[in-house]
Amino acid sequence: MNKLNLSIVIPTYNERDNISKILEKLESSLKNIKYEVVFVDDNSPDGTSEEIEVFMKKSQNVKLIRRVGRRGLSGAIIEGIFASNASLVGVMDCDLQHDESKLLEMLALFKKNTSLDLVIGSRFTEDGEISHGAFSKVREVASKTITIIIKKLLYINSTDPLSGFFMVKKDSFLAHSKKLQTQGFKVLADFLAVSRHNIDVKEIGYKFKNRVLGESKMSLLTGLELISLVLSQIFGGKVSIKFILFCMVGVSGIFVQLATTGFLYFFVNGFSTSQTVGILVAMTSNYFLNNYITFQERKLKSIALLQGLFSFYLICSLGAFANIAVATYLFSLSSNWLVSSFVGAVFGAVWNFTLSSNFTWKSK
């Protein structure tokens, strides 16, 4: 087999009807190029993997990584790049919103400049744009605002760090891959942040088109993951996206507890009972939020959902004791209530997170 010029990694989740279309488009734009397509499908319920298998029978250059029991765009892209056989890897969505004809221009840039590490397909350069109707007005404004904030906070100077369309030298990507997080939607922003100033980057404008078939997987949840990614980078990548999501849920629990306790105290009376019920309601709402947000890919259902709730109650009660013990000890040493209470809370959060991720939501 001749040496491959390019691998194209395409993450998929419920994209069955787009598979034949994207393969056709790639074939007609990459006429003289030797390329392979590596699909990474998270065992989509709509039969995307089976559809890809049909094309694997016809062409040796179509490959599939089928991930079972896992979800997540960033992790899928990282695994796809690991499995690629060419030294240059293009990453693009399956839904035809990215412009495959730009892959040739990206390749040409790498040919011209051998020290180049990354070319970003950008919606926000002079010749880049977002098609009318591709995004709702809300998402377009949110996308632009978040881009500005992320560039400032993470010292990134790309015009489109949230792009899902780019080409990268495999070795340069691998060199930084250990620091990347698999949870989330924005692997490019993560890569730019961890490789800061050590890579050579160029951009190419493209027109982000409308999605014709299937649905976007972007959600409030992917937004929360993005905020967590930024916070995680601000802490030097030392805390995981998961832990930050867990803490966000924890903070929401404080409000739930205050609201419940307040309501019961004013309308039903009896502080201790109100406070106890408040704590129970907060633990319960934390449990369900963690199940849907923090541990979405290990989501518990039916009877396991109930068992999980009780193990979560148990872990959090022990966490509360640990919190009180640490805080009391520190207070006896320093008499600083704020620091003691804060350290106690951090201790409790780490305890709850570590135990619940190993017991309540242990990975299979």
Chain positions contacting Mn ion, by CB under 5 A: 93, 95, 97
Which residues make Cβ contacts (< 8 Å) with residue 47, sequence separation at least 6?
16
Task: Measure CA of the first residue to CA of the last residue in the chain; give whole Å.
Answer: 39
Q: Is 218 in the site for ligand GDD (CB under 6 A)?
A: yes
Q: Are 159 and 124 in contact (CB under 8 A)?
A: yes
Q: Is 165 in the site for ligand GDD (CB under 6 A)?
A: yes
- Comparing CB distances to ligand GDD, the nearer of 92 and 343 is 92
| Tokens read off for 160 | 């489109």
Q: What is the 8-class DSSP label of residue 107? A: H
Beta strands in 156-200 (DSSP E): 166-169
> Which range, of 212-220, 259-267, 272-280, 303-311, touches ligand GDD by CB under 6 A?
212-220
> Which range, of 24-32, 87-95, 105-113, 271-279, touches ligand GDD by CB under 6 A?
87-95
Give the number of other CB atoms < 10 A from CB of residue 65. 17
**Closest separation in Å from C-beta 68 to ligand GDD:** 12
Of the residues 6, 8, 9, 76, which one makes contact with ligand GDD according to CB under 6 A: 76
Contacts 24+ apart (CB under 8 A), 225-229: 225/183, 225/184, 225/185, 225/186, 226/146, 226/162, 226/184, 226/185, 226/186, 226/189, 228/184, 229/181, 229/184, 229/186, 229/189, 229/190
Choose among 132, 159, 136: nearest CA to 148.
159
Strand 201-205 versus strand 6-12 pairing type? unpaired
- Comparing CB distances to ligand GDD, the nearer of 19 and 244 is 19
Q: Is 308 in the site for ligand GDD (CB under 6 A)?
A: no
Site track for ligand GDD across 174-203, x = CB under 6 A: -----------xx-----------------
Q: Using CB distances below 5 to 8 A depending on partner kind, what does residue 73 bind out of ligand GDD, Mn ion, none? A: ligand GDD
- Comparing CB distances to ligand GDD, the nearer of 185 and 351 is 185
Of the residues 6, 9, 15, 308, which one makes contact with ligand GDD according to CB under 6 A: 15
**Closest separation in Å from C-beta 210 to ligand GDD:** 10
Give the number of other CB atoms < 10 A from CB of residue 307. 12
- Comparing CB distances to ligand GDD, the nearer of 142 and 259 is 142
Identify residue 288 by its one-letter amino acid code: F
Q: Is 97 in the site for ligand GDD (CB under 6 A)?
A: yes
**Closest separation in Å from C-beta 30 to ligand GDD:** 18
How far apart CA 167 and CA 165 sit, in angstroms, is: 7
**Closest separation in Å from C-beta 145 to ligand GDD:** 14
Q: Is 168 in the site for ligand GDD (CB under 6 A)?
A: no
Report CA-CA distances (Å) from 151 to 70, 75, 166, 303. Answer: 30, 22, 17, 45
Token pair 């765009």: residue: 73
> Which range, of 82-90, 91-99, 166-174, 251-259, touches ligand GDD by CB under 6 A?
91-99
> Which range, of 66-74, 81-89, 175-183, 307-315, touches ligand GDD by CB under 6 A?
66-74
Beta strands in the chain (DSSP E): 6-12, 35-41, 62-66, 88-91, 118-122, 129-130, 166-169, 201-205, 207-208
Q: Is 12 in the site for ligand GDD (CB under 6 A)?
A: yes
Q: Estimate to the nearest angstrom the gap between the alpha carbon of 15 and the chain centroid.
A: 19
Q: Is 96 in the site for ligand GDD (CB under 6 A)?
A: no
Total binding residues toward ligand GDD, as defined by CB under 6 A: 25
Region 108-147 residues binding ligand GDD, contact defined as CB under 6 A:
none
How far apart CA 100 and CA 25 sit, in angstroms, is: 7
Q: Using CB distances below 5 to 8 A depending on partner kind, what does residue 150 bind out of ligand GDD, Mn ion, none? A: none
Chain residues in the site for ligand GDD (CB under 6 A): 11-13, 15, 40-42, 71-73, 76, 93-95, 97, 162-165, 185-186, 208, 216-218
